[in-house]
Amino acid sequence: MLQSRLLLWSLTLLQTVFVLSAGLGFTGCETWIHPIADQLGSYSEGLARTEIRGKWGYVDPEGKLIIAPKFDYAWDFAEGLAAVRIGESWGFIDTSGEFAIQPRFEWAYGFSEGLAAVRTDWQWGYISRTGEYMIPPRFEEAHPFINGVAQIKQDSTWDLIDPEGELTLPPSF
């Protein structure tokens, strides 16, 4: 019994390695073929980022290309927008592939709780969905908001801030 389970597990593992190397994707428990994708991300808000010949775009759950692969890198959609890079600049697109916030940042994370962490002149701040700074760039590092707080680094110390940019706890790590 144990040998048959090990054999089945080994075959499943080999099939998985073959599937991944052949450009197949997984959606839930089903497997589908996307013959031209080099990489395929997870689905978020109905679209998955995919890399095709060195450029990133987005496909729907049926594998149909919805946003052409024209970005140098792309993050998942969050709150209706996705951070994408063209050349050395990051901006945000909507689900139709149009820029909602033009590329002008050195780095960007996706939106979380209405704000996105972005870097300009080596300083991190947070913007709204309109691209307006809600928390001006002043941090060495910044992470997305989770449960009303975001982890930031300033003066070589990690802290937590609220959505107004105020410290929520004394520095502890």
Q: What is the pTM of this model?
A: 0.77
The dihedrals phi and psi of 102, each to the nearest 5 degrees, come to -60, 150
Distance CA 116, CA 130 (A): 11
Q: What is the pLDDT along the chain (173 residues), one digit of tens a residue?
A: 434 333 333 333 333 333 343 444 444 434 444 557 889 999 999 999 999 999 999 999 998 999 999 999 999 999 999 999 999 999 999 999 999 999 999 999 999 999 999 999 999 999 999 999 999 999 999 999 999 999 999 999 999 999 999 999 765 55
Q: Judging by beta carbons within 10 Å of its beta carbon (0-12, 13-18, 19+), is residue 50 exposed, middle or buried?
A: buried
